[in-house]
Amino acid sequence: MAKHNIRLIKSKRSYSMTQIVSLLKIDRKTCRCWLKKEGLRPIEQNVNPILVIGADLIDFLNKKRAKRRIGLNEGQFFCFKCHKSVRAKAGSEETIKTGKKIGKSNSDQYKKVGNCEVCNTRVNRFIGVSQQD
Ligand SMILES: [Zn+2]
């Protein structure tokens, strides 16, 4: 899914479907699908043209984005091959200094690497110095 620029939407404005389509550079079909199936709420049902309040659209897109975000628990990695969070294979996990400095305190960046327990692909996870164990 493309990243929509939510900041372009003004919360107190109402938008017609045509305006939403051109503002977010999406297909009309995508917009119709949001309204019909995914719960984007128009101001009034069954009224033409369909109008959506900016605040509702922002809310809808934020929820959509949050749903896509995959949370990683402690010790988990994101495997790009499996496309989900996985644990590293026992014994394959190690912490490496990347040599980069991050954050305001200019602290060392570390990454944890390991092999995916499912498909054995190399997985990494960047961690700040504070999280290092
Ligand atoms: Zn995997």
Claim to verify: residue 32 and residue 82 sit in the same structural domain:
no
- Residue 63 and residue 10 share a domain: yes
Which residues in the chain come in under a pLDDT of 50? Answer: 131-133
Residues 61 and 88 in one domain: no
Q: How far apart are CA 65 and CA 50, in angstroms?
A: 23
**Rg over CA atoms, the chain:** 21
Report how far ligand 1's centroid is from the alpha carbon of 114 (Å). Answer: 11
Instruction: Indicate if the alpha-carbon torsion angle 22, 46, 48, 57 is positive or negative.
Output: negative
CA of 94 to the centre of ligand 1 (A): 17
Q: How many domains does the chain have?
A: 2
Residue 80 CA to ligand 1 center (angstroms) comes to 7
Dist. CA 70–CA 90, nearest whole Å: 22
Ligand 1 center to 90 CA (angstroms): 14
Beta-carbon neighbours within 5 Å of ion ligand 1: 79, 81-82, 116, 118-119, 121
Q: Which domain holds residue 28?
A: 6-68
Q: 76 C-alpha to center of ligand 1: Å?
A: 12
The full length of the chain comes to 133
Residue 1 located in a structural domain: no
Distance 98 CA to ligand 1 centre (A): 22
What φ, ψ does residue 113 adopt, rounded to 5°? -125, 155
Residues 85 and 122 in one domain: yes
Burial of 24 (0-12, 13-18, 19+ CB in 10 A): buried
